[in-house]
Chain A
């Protein structure tokens, strides 16, 4: 799976501009799905299985967009001012490198700011090596993602956009390993999650599922000092989300996931995230309401160019999801 993850994380795809990553995913799915379509907001929806008598229409959502930057102004000397697409911290920007959708690369520089003043995005600029406005290869409204190669540390893997390409990799792998299912499963590779769950919102309306869940990353509470108040840790297994600030997972789904993991002897951990949200919220609030949950991969340094996950968590997430989808679902 590492080579798939590497390919996915190194493909640019800031929110709203997921066309390259969508093509990579389509290629990776290959013949594994029964049917593939793309909806109006660009989400790729791969269907597998037929709904049997004991089956449900299940939606699984992994978002394929990533945080990024958009140019707001080009000055006379060719420096670019920018705004954020999704949650970008100025802290992780300075000295970083960016890749525009048209292939242009650049670095992020900083105005001199007063001592003690908090760094803001407006204090930063992108330098693409242009010497004037006229020879600047990008224009206002152009989009870039952070540029950082995949780093394999053995058990741990590091990349920009591990959020949420690692989940896309998990979904693709599940799609491939799922041999038989009583369900009609819609694997949604959703767009624009980072700017308000837009892709999953419209995809869920289109799929009209009986049940659904997101696969996403979550924070991990296992780093030195001042780590987030989180019970999750890298390597402790896929995290079954109980709640985050965007939704409360359907308790029946939580119980079903726990029971399935325990029966199959797959390690898992429980997740309570105090800030953050996933496509699970969008699924839950679709039409007349849908029982929804989320399976998370614990991740360090989220929304930085170096997001770290654990290989075993990824593998166990695949195992858990295959198990979850292989049998009839009884919610109690």
Chain B
């Protein structure tokens, strides 16, 4: 065996035509929590040629490993979730009108009048709404409960739709100037980045890529994936809301924006599920500064990522999250910047090539 014990920095991954095509395919696929089949197939197709080991575990996570070379390699887990928020068909009514439930966090005010795709065949439906002609001023002040909404599939679908089928918003991927508009950017951006990182895996570490399931319903896939991988450290790669809109009339500044577009990858210090290991915060910020990559801290506070369960796995795993900011998260359409995506990918790669056993040798310092 010829092994080079020195760190061999792999080529820095970049965003080009094929990366856009892959992201488009990923975003347009349907993978509502618990039925991630479609995205899993795309992931498997991409990672099988490059990974040393690929496994689909009992919950449906794709666990892809690429071993480095040399001694004392740190086992680094990266997690990006394949699932997205969406709907589940609950009951059929006359005229192929279907009652449905939400899967994951969706504001019910976002639903009326939206086109959806139902089931693995992507059958076209629409969440109906009473037209303004027929509503009273009083009705228009209230939000419409999910239970009184229906997905209208029309007569042409016959018996194809059944209770338990998933549905997503029908939004199609589009690049508009410096931006990407799509559904499920949360977390197909992360999935796409993990695929690129597997393809450009640095030799100094063992890269353990977990494409997780059921994140949106309680971080379920990552829990078992982390147990299986039993890594030395972990980075959850996700997408987080940017609410960087102009301030309200009665506020002198918008102080709760979570993240801002165009300011680069959002590094987590704390959310409701994880207090990031400061050694990893420093790894990321140092990497960004050395490589001249812009970055921002995600405002500490609510929310959670796969890191929330990974860090509590077994005897504890130093963990952090990095996200691409995206506006209008968990609605029918998200909006992210290409540069933020590219810089997040660059940052992750820059951080990975700097991982050494020394990083985790000392005690956690915050």
Residue in B297, B300, B316, B363 whose beta carbon sits within 8 Å of that of A83 in the complex: B300
Query: Is A131 on the interface with B (CB-CB < 8 A)?
Result: no
Are B270 and A16 within 8 A (Cβ)? Answer: yes
> Known interface pairs A70-B269, A140-B297. Does A198 touch B312 (Cβ–Cβ under 8 Å)?
yes
> Known interface pairs A83-B301, A85-B270, A140-B299. Does A39 touch B256 (Cβ–Cβ under 8 Å)?
no
Are B366 and A141 within 8 A (Cβ)? Answer: no
CA distance A203 to B316 in the complex (A): 8
CA distance A247 to B299 in the complex (A): 33
- Number of contacting residues on A, CB 8 A? 38
Spot the interface stretch: A71-79, A214-222, A319-327.
A71-79
Are A16 and B275 within 8 A (Cβ)? Answer: yes
The digit string for B301-315, where 1 denotes a CB below 8 A from any CB of A, is: 100000000011111
Are B316 and A202 within 8 A (Cβ)? Answer: yes
Closest 4 A/B residue pairs (Cβ): A16-B275, A202-B316, A40-B316, A141-B269
Contacts of A72 in B (CB 8 A): 255-256, 299-301
Q: 8 Å CB contacts to B: which residues of A10-50?
A: 15-19, 22, 38-43
Which partner residue on chain A sits nearest B285 by CB separation?
A141
User: B277: shortest Cβ distance to chain A, in Å?
Assistant: 8
> Known interface pairs A81-B255, A83-B300. Does A40 touch B315 (Cβ–Cβ under 8 Å)?
yes
Q: 8 Å CB contacts to A: which residues of B268-318?
A: 269-270, 273, 275-276, 278, 281, 297, 299-301, 311-318
CA distance A98 to B220 in the complex (A): 37
Contacts of B270 in A (CB 8 A): 16, 70, 83, 85, 141
User: A9: shortest Cβ distance to chain B, in Å?
Assistant: 19
Contacts of A16 in B (CB 8 A): 270, 275-276, 366
CA distance A15 to B271 in the complex (A): 12
CA distance A73 to B316 in the complex (A): 30
Query: Is B140 on the interface with A (CB-CB < 8 A)?
Result: no
Contacts of A71 in B (CB 8 A): 300
Query: Is B253 on the interface with A (CB-CB < 8 A)?
Result: yes
Are A202 and B315 within 8 A (Cβ)? Answer: yes
A-B contact pairs, 23 of them (CB 8 A): A17-B278, A19-B363, A19-B364, A38-B363, A39-B316, A41-B316, A41-B318, A41-B364, A43-B316, A72-B255, A72-B301, A73-B256, A101-B366, A122-B255, A122-B256, A141-B281, A195-B275, A198-B275, A201-B312, A201-B316, A202-B311, A202-B314, A203-B315
Which partner residue on chain A sits nearest B253 by CB separation?
A75
In the complex, which of the residues A15, A72, A81 has the most CB atoms of chain B within 10 Å of its own CB atom? A72
Are A141 and B297 within 8 A (Cβ)? Answer: yes
**Interface size band for B:** 20 to 34
Residue in B253, B300, B315 whose beta carbon sits within 8 Å of that of A205 in the complex: B315
Query: Is B17 on the interface with A (CB-CB < 8 A)?
Result: no
Query: Is A276 on the interface with B (CB-CB < 8 A)?
Result: no
Query: Is A257 on the interface with B (CB-CB < 8 A)?
Result: no
Q: 8 Å CB contacts to A: which residues of B236-284?
A: 253, 255-256, 269-270, 273, 275-276, 278, 281
Query: Is B365 on the interface with A (CB-CB < 8 A)?
Result: yes
Contacts of B316 in A (CB 8 A): 39-41, 43, 198-199, 201-203, 205-206
Q: 8 Å CB contacts to B: which residues of A190-218?
A: 191-192, 195-196, 198-199, 201-203, 205-206
Contacts of A139 in B (CB 8 A): 297
CA distance A203 to B313 in the complex (A): 10
Query: Is A143 on the interface with B (CB-CB < 8 A)?
Result: yes
CA distance A75 to B255 in the complex (A): 8
CA distance A140 to B256 in the complex (A): 12
Apart from A85-B270, A199-B316: 4 A-B pairs, beta carbons within 8 A: A40-B318, A40-B364, A72-B255, A101-B366
Contacts of A192 in B (CB 8 A): 275
Contacts of A43 in B (CB 8 A): 316
> Known interface pairs A140-B297, A141-B270. Does A15 touch B363 (Cβ–Cβ under 8 Å)?
no
Contacts of B317 in A (CB 8 A): 40
Residue in B297, B300, B311, B366 whose beta carbon sits within 8 Å of that of A17 in the complex: B366
Which partner residue on chain B sits nearest A191 by CB separation?
B364
Are A140 and B253 within 8 A (Cβ)? Answer: no
> Known interface pairs A72-B301, A83-B300, A202-B314. Does A42 touch B363 (Cβ–Cβ under 8 Å)?
yes
Which partner residue on chain B sits nearest A125 by CB separation?
B255
Contacts of A85 in B (CB 8 A): 270, 275
Q: 8 Å CB contacts to B: which residues of A72-102?
A: 72-73, 75-76, 81, 83, 85, 101
CA distance A83 to B317 in the complex (A): 24
User: A324: shortest Cβ distance to chain B, in Å?
Assistant: 26
In the complex, which of the residues B255, B275, B313 has the most CB atoms of chain A within 10 Å of its own CB atom? B275
Which partner residue on chain A sits nearest B317 by CB separation?
A40
Q: 8 Å CB contacts to A: which residues of B158-180?
A: none
Are B364 and A73 within 8 A (Cβ)? Answer: no
Contacts of A15 in B (CB 8 A): 275
CA distance A143 to B269 in the complex (A): 10
CA distance A139 to B275 in the complex (A): 16
Which partner residue on chain A sits nearest B273 by CB separation?
A196
Residue in B255, B297, B311, B365 whose beta carbon sits within 8 Å of that of A198 in the complex: B311
User: A136: shortest Cβ distance to chain B, in Å?
Assistant: 14
CA distance A18 to B269 in the complex (A): 15
Which partner residue on chain B sits nearest A84 by CB separation?
B301
Contacts of B366 in A (CB 8 A): 16-19, 101, 143
The digit string for B219-231, where 1 denotes a CB below 8 A from any CB of A, is: 0000000000000
CA distance A201 to B310 in the complex (A): 12
In the complex, which of the residues B255, B269, B276, B364 has the most CB atoms of chain A within 10 Å of its own CB atom? B364
Which partner residue on chain A sits nearest B281 by CB separation?
A141
User: B312: shortest Cβ distance to chain A, in Å?
Assistant: 5
User: B229: shortest Cβ distance to chain A, in Å?
Assistant: 14
Which partner residue on chain B sits nearest A141 by CB separation?
B269
Are A141 and B300 within 8 A (Cβ)? Answer: yes
Q: 8 Å CB contacts to A: which residues of B162-203?
A: none
CA distance A81 to B257 in the complex (A): 12
The digit string for A119-150, where 1 denotes a CB below 8 A from any CB of B, is: 00010000000000000000111010000000
